[in-house]
């Protein structure tokens, strides 16, 4: 929605997380005298003057009070209340859509690069940002990675935007470059079923005006995305791909993979995606690879903690899917690993993860939280000789891991599930793990 449309509308902001607060500040800066309603579970006492507060329970009685509701990403598009608002003629939008609608004027048309995927989107987005910044470009990084789009500085040459499925589901504006890294089952509570999740995720790469970057090695992407116009594949021999010790484009060697500091094949594939984006931008690939060599990753993503005792702790709290945890184990193959896993149950299929654990071997698997028993049962079926222990929570898991892990071994938190059954988010879970690791 444009500023002119918002100026005439009766507005509610639904959700008071980081993006909701950013949205309120953006509206207040442009319409200081405009009444705005906030809809949230609770009131935190920090709302601007002139802001009305409603709980979600109040919403059904006030549907006709609004022309526009700006929904935070955590509010499912498929909630009954959203349907009721739409049926009443209320326009549902998001801060993401508002940023895109005003981008050309506010940011003078800087190139937009939107990245999504079940796994790897934060690392890939941050890597692209790092490469562009290292090459001297004026670049901003935001979206799901933690900085609301409306807080980004205007006037950049490039805007690298990480988008979750919650943000792509109702996206109405085409980015210049749209990237889909992979598709795996996730977020069933928000989307209702996996088919809807896949549909909402791939919506990002369905705008005909976007250049689209796709992963040829991802089976679901190949199956579900039918597009031939302006497509740039990676992980295929005639494009950027991993070939033995090299990163190559066709038969041209771009760089030596061992010089890229992030561990694991999955991170090398993230590098392929990032350099494919750079290729679409017309940048020199060898210069981009050189820039990538100084990228050292993000917190909570195979993050090696300072070693102060007999064990090396690794924080991979971001791994909220079985596929991500399997990739982490592959990246650390050859070490004596005690894996701590388990979290919110989203009906994940642990079959392939259990097979990976059986094939790679573990010093021990320690499970906790909602998925703990299901994962433990699956591993015990797949690998009867694998030591499996069940505990109640992360503190108990770390305590037990210290006891059962040999000197020099790795204690890896890679939950294969979301955090919301025990923590606010994966960052809080990772921070708690780091606290426990440092206090032993």
315 in a labelled binding site: no
- HEC string of 81-111? HHHHHHHCCCEEECHHHHHHHHHHHHCCCCE
118 in a labelled binding site: yes
> Can you tell me whether residue 38 is helix, strand or coil?
strand
Q: Which long-range contacts (CB under 8 A, 24 or more apart) does 46-51 make?
A: 48/24, 51/24
| Helices 265-280, 285-292: crossing angle, 10 deg rounding | 140
Q: CA 436 to CA 288: how far, in whole Å?
A: 38
Catalogue the E-assigned strands of 262-391. Answer: 303-304, 312-315, 337-341, 364-367, 388-390
**Six token digits for residue 330:** 């592959």
338 in a labelled binding site: no
Q: CA 416 to CA 439: how far, in whole Å?
A: 25
276 in a labelled binding site: no
**Six token digits for residue 187:** 């977020």
Beta pairing partners, 388: 365
121 in a labelled binding site: yes
Going by the DSSP 8-state scheme, the letter that residue 205 receives in this structure is G
> Can you tell me whether residue 342 is helix, strand or coil?
coil
44 in a labelled binding site: no
Residues 6+ apart with CB under 8 A from 223: none
| Helices 322-331, 265-280: crossing angle, 10 deg rounding | 100
123 in a labelled binding site: yes
**Six token digits for residue 344:** 């919110």
**Six token digits for residue 280:** 């679409």
Q: CA 176 to CA 288: how far, in whole Å?
A: 20
Residue 179 near residue 118 (C-beta atoms within 8 A)? no
Residues 6+ apart with CB under 8 A from 344: 369, 370, 371, 417, 418, 419, 420, 421
As to burial, measured by CB atoms within 10 angstroms (0-12 exposed, 13-18 middle, 19+ buried), residue 25 is middle
Question: What residues form the annotated binding site for ATP?
Answer: 117-123
Question: What residues form the annotated binding site?
Answer: 117-123
């Amino acid at each position: 929605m444009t500023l002119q449309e918002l100026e005439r509308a009766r507005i509610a902001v639904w959700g008071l997380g980081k993006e909701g607060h950013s949205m309120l500040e953006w509206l207040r800066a442009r319409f200081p005298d405009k009444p705005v309603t906030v809809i949230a579970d609770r009131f935190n006492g920090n709302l601007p003057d002139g802001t009305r507060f409603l709980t979600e329970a109040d919403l059904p009685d006030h549907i006709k009070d609004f022309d526009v509701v700006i929904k935070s990403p955590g509010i499912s598009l498929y909630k009954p209340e959203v349907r009721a608002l739409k049926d009443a003629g209320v326009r549902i939008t998001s801060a993401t859509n508002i940023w895109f609608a005003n981008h050309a004027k506010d940011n003078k048309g800087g190139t937009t690069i939107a990245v999504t995927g079940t796994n790897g989107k934060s690392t890939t987005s941050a890597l692209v940002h790092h490469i562009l910044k290292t090459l001297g470009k004026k670049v901003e990084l935001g979206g799901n990675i933690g900085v609301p789009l409306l807080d980004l500085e205007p006037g950049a040459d490039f805007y690298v935007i990480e988008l979750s499925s919650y943000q792509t589901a109702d996206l109405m504006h085409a980015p210049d470059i749209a990237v889909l890294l992979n598709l795996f089952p996730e977020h069933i509570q928000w989307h209702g079923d996996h088919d809807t999740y896949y549909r909402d995720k791939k919506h990002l790469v369905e705008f005909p005006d976007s250049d689209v970057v796709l992963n040829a090695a991802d089976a679901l992407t190949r199956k579900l995305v039918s597009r031939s116009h302006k497509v740039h594949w990676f992980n295929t021999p005639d494009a950027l791909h991993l070939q033995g010790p090299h990163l190559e484009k066709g038969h041209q060697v771009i760089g030596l993979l061992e010089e890229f500091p992030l561990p694991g094949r999955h991170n090398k594939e993230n590098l392929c995606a990032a350099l494919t984006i750079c290729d679409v931008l017309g940048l020199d690939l060898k210069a981009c690879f050189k820039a990538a060599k100084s990228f050292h990753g993000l917190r909570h993503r195979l993050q090696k903690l300072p070693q102060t005792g007999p064990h090396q702790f690794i924080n991979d709290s971001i791994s909220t899917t079985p596929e991500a945890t399997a990739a982490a184990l592959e990246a650390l193959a050859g070490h004596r690993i005690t894996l701590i896993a388990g979290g919110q149950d989203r009906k994940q299929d642990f079959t392939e993860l259990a097979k990976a654990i059986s094939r790679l071997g573990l010093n021990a698997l320690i499970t906790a939280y909602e998925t703990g028993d299901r994962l433990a049962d699956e591993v015990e079926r797949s690998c009867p000789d694998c030591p499996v222990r069940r505990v109640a929570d992360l503190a108990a898991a770390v305590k037990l891991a210290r006891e059962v892990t040999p000197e020099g071994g790795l204690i890896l938190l890679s939950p294969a599930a979301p955090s919301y059954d025990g923590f606010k988010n994966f960052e809080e879970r990772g921070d708690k793990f780091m606290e426990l690791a440092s206090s032993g």
